[in-house]
Amino acid sequence: MKIILLCFLLFITGCSSPEENTNQIVDTNDDHEFISKTEFPVDNYTVFQGFAEANPGFDYKYHCADDVFASAGTPVKSMADGTVSYSGSMGGYGWLITIDHEEDSVYSLYGHLSTKRGKVSTGEKVKSGLVIAYVADDDEDGSGPIDGSGQYIYWTPHLHFSVRKGKISDFPSGEDDRWMAGYTRLHPTKFGWLNPLEYINSKK
């Protein structure tokens, strides 16, 4: 009887070993730890002129960006962490901002921004998702008046958003490879411009 009782106690002890209870496998694959650091600069967007499309209004030059509908005053966010390399007025853009993303060796460009609303300044460090400016009204986005009397055709409020390999100091201020180009005669990938949506999706 004692032998049977001893065997029973040993069996129970083996089944409830404290080592087994304290060394369980823990699943560390927490989805919250894998949030992308790169994001599109506006929410709920619709692309109406995509990257590398030839535009008849600009002598069939290639578009270097994605143009997305956005009402005037829409907040525009930084695509990723970086340093503001340009923030100022620019012909055809209204207000223009570029951000050098040193970690990824690219820069992002945001055009048709408001000149009268708040915006970041050249030299500022920014984080991904930080509001850097706002979409411009009709009278400050760089387009001509509705009657077509301006230097550029009239367009409705929208964001011109592009991504390029390198930093703006790598490129000239003129010619087809200029750092602020909106359109190029040769395909924009020949000058290092990237498809913005594809780039952001690749970072996720």
Q: What is the CATH number of the domain that holds 61?
A: 2.70.70.10
Closest CA to 135 of 183, 69, 191: 69
**Pair type for strands 47-49 and 66-69:** antiparallel
Q: Give residue-wise pLDDT tens across range 94-103.
A: 999 999 999 9
For 50-108, what is each residue's pLDDT tens digit? 999 999 988 999 999 999 999 999 999 999 999 999 999 998 999 999 999 999 999 99
**Which of 33-37, 117-121, 162-166 shows the lowest per-residue confidence on average (mean pLDDT)?**
33-37
The rounded radius of gyration (Å) of the Cα atoms in the chain is 27
**Domain membership of residue 111 as a residue range:** 44-166+180-203
In this prediction, residue 105 carries a pLDDT of 97
| Residue 14 covered by a domain | no
CA of 44: how far to CAs of 70, 96, 143, 163, in Å?
9, 22, 24, 19
* pTM (whole model) above 0.75: yes
What is the count of structural domains for the chain? 1
